[in-house]
Structure 1
Amino acid sequence: MARAQQLLGRFCRRCCFPAGGSAEKGLSRGISSDKPPKRPLTAYFRFMKENRSVFRQKNPEVTTMELIKKIADAWKELPASQKQVYEESRKTDWERYKEQLAAYKAQLTPAQAAALKEERRKRLAKRSLFRAKRELTVLGKPKRPRSGFNIFVSENFQESEGISPTAKLKQLFDAWRKMSSSQQQPYLQLAEDDKVRYVNEMKSWEAKMVELGREDLIRSTTQMPKPKTAKTAKKAETAQASSHENKAKLKLKKTEE
């Protein structure tokens, strides 16, 4: 299902919304008045674009995701000779694309070319970070512990007043600040318990990563949060809650502006 969603997203960006579908166009926004060439579709997406309407007519009752899966299954069963036709078209278009892209870059000023390069670097870095996070999710890395303020928000968000999420968050932010230490203590204790949960789960998870040969995913022991004494726990939680409050306050301020 995740693969189908990924395919659907890529298909929509490149086929259904061609005006803004190419990566280079997004990167060059504001850099040049001339439109850069669009990247050619892969062999599979050519097959999808060419046959999507036919599959839809044959399967009017299925959802979009189910339709994508049917097309993907049809592509897998397609003979290699027929797949080669789509691949040859891709190669032809790719060669033309490279020529057009070179011509486009040649008409850019040095500053525009540098800006285009920097935007591409940022995009690739963002994509790399996304893939790394997705891999950790697939590998079952434990969720980080929540602060007392976060637990308070999650437990009271639905019942809080306000139409918009921002209004609800503002109300909870104000309510948390007005709470006494004794009123905040149950949430701070839950946060401490969550830290213990996180430490224990991380130990098990990292042991599993060692067995899988993924020592590169293991953090240094100095980075692991350690259970605190009762005296230091409240001080640390108060500081962490204050940090979350400040972030929420800054977010609200930007929204109001």
Structure 2
Amino acid sequence: MNTLVRLFQSPRLWITSRPTGLPYQVNSSITTTAYSADQSATNSKLPEKPKRPINAFMRFLQSVRSSLRAQHPSASTPEIARLATAQWQVLDAKAKSKLEDEYKKDQAVWLQKNAKYLSELTDDQKESIRQAQQDKSERKAKRECRMRAKQLGKPKRPQNGFLLFVSEHASKTASKEDNIAQVKSLAQKWAKFTDVEKKPYNSRALDALLKYQNDMRIWEEQMVAENNLDVIRRKHILLPEKKRRGDPSASQ
């Protein structure tokens, strides 16, 4: 069910406001491309960037990962990394030095290749890379802000009427591919519903939405009081009024 929720809360689903004031109306057209055609075309024109070599520890991790997996078949990836770190800390200096030398040698080669790669980029390609890096940084900042807000107890947005309908009729054990097919089928069924048929779901969704809005107001007031302004929606932050021209206090 979580897969269905993520799918229909993603920007790939077109959602428009209902003229009746009910939470949402679902458009059954679903896009599957994550990037625009212009972005894909720009990225395809960039030459292949030299791959930065991995450091000494990562080389060691790669060499022991298989044996650690065999010894600890139920261990997670972070647990395998911790086990490898413990072995790395007691590894003899000669073995470490060999891995360090390999890394330094590959690093020197990479620096030369990367310098050549950068020197051959056009201005448009450099701008495209700069923009991609900026977009990546902004996405990371948004993820970190969402995680921080969640840790601070931000209320969770409730499901809309359509998702409530899906929750009641979709199989909870279907595969990802079957989930997508299920949702498309249910979206088509929902689109044919009359307002009367949708009303029970939309009414529940509206009640939940009103409660969520009240919970958000209380939570944001608490965040302001605690000076956690970075997790507040900007339109809800009260900024000081601009001083009017001619106000004597403006020059103070």
TM-score range (shorter-chain normalised) is 0.5 to 0.7
Distance 1:221 1:197, change over 3 A: farther
- The Cα offsets for residues 106-134 of structure 1, whole Å up to 9 and x where unpaired, read as 12333333333333333333333333333
Q: CA deviation at 1:83?
A: 11
Corresponding residue for residue 38 of structure 2: none
Contact 2:161 2:201 in 1 (8 A): yes
So what's the TM-score if we normalise by structure 2?
A: 0.57
| Corresponding position of 1:158 | 171
What is aligned with 2:65?
52
Q: Name 1:193's counterpart in structure 2.
A: 207
In structure 2, relative to structure 1, the CA distance for the partners of 1:220 and 1:53 (3 Å cut) is closer
Alpha-carbon spacing, 1:195–1:174, altered in 2? closer, same or farther (3 Å): same
Q: Alpha-carbon deviation of 1:39?
A: 1.3
Cα shift at 1:190:
1.0
Please say if 1:176 is aligned against 2:181. Answer: no
Shift of 1:191: 0.9
Q: Which runs of 5+ in 2 are unaligned?
A: 1-41, 238-252
Contact 2:145 2:230 survives alignment (8 Å): no
Q: Matched residues in 1 for 2:86 and 2:205: separation?
A: 47
Q: Does 1:39 align with 2:52?
A: yes
**For residues 37-69 of structure 1, what are the alpha-carbon distances to aligned partners after superposition, in whole Å with 9 as ceiling and x for unaligned?**
211224542331233244345x15344534334
Identity of aligned residues (%): 27
3-state SS in 1 of match to 2:167: helix
2:139 maps to which of 112, 126, 129: 126
Which of 225, 231, 245 is 1:217 aligned to?
231
Could you say if the C-alpha distance between residues 96 and 134 of structure 1 is closer, same or farther in structure 2, counting changes exceeding 3 Å? farther
**CA distance change for structure 1 residues 102 and 123 in 2, over 3 Å: closer, same or farther?**
same
1:70: how far off? 2.1
In the TM superposition, residue 149 of structure 1 has moved relative to its aligned partner by 1.9
Deviation sequence 1:119-167 (CA, Å, 0-9, x none): 33333333333333333334442222322122112222229xxx84343
Residue 141 of structure 1: aligned partner? 154
User: Taking structure 1 as the reference length, what is the TM-score of the superposition?
Assistant: 0.56
Count of aligned pairs between the two proteins: 190
The separation in 2 between residues aligned to 1:208 and 1:93, in whole angstroms, is 52
Q: Does 2:105 align with 1:105? A: no
Equivalent position amino acid for 2:212 in 1: Y
CA distance in 2, matches of 1:128, 1:213: 19
Greater relative contact order (CA < 8 Å, ≥ 6 in sequence): 2
For the Cα contact (< 8 Å) 1:36–1:104, is it kept in 2?
A: yes
The answer to whether residue 139 in structure 2 is matched with residue 116 in structure 1 is no
Q: Is the 8 A contact 1:39 1:97 kept in 2?
A: yes
Deviation at 1:198, TM superposition (A): 1.5
Once the two structures are superposed, the pairs formed by residues 224-239 of structure 1 within 5 Å of their partners are: none
| Letter of the structure 2 residue corresponding to residue 31 of structure 1 | L
In the alignment, does 2:73 pair up with 1:61? yes
Across the aligned residues of Structure 1 and Structure 2, the Cα RMSD in angstroms comes to 3.8
Q: Which residue identity lines up with residue 196 of structure 1 in the other structure?
A: L
What are the ranges of 5 or more consecutive residues in structure 1 without an aligned counterpart? 1-26, 224-257
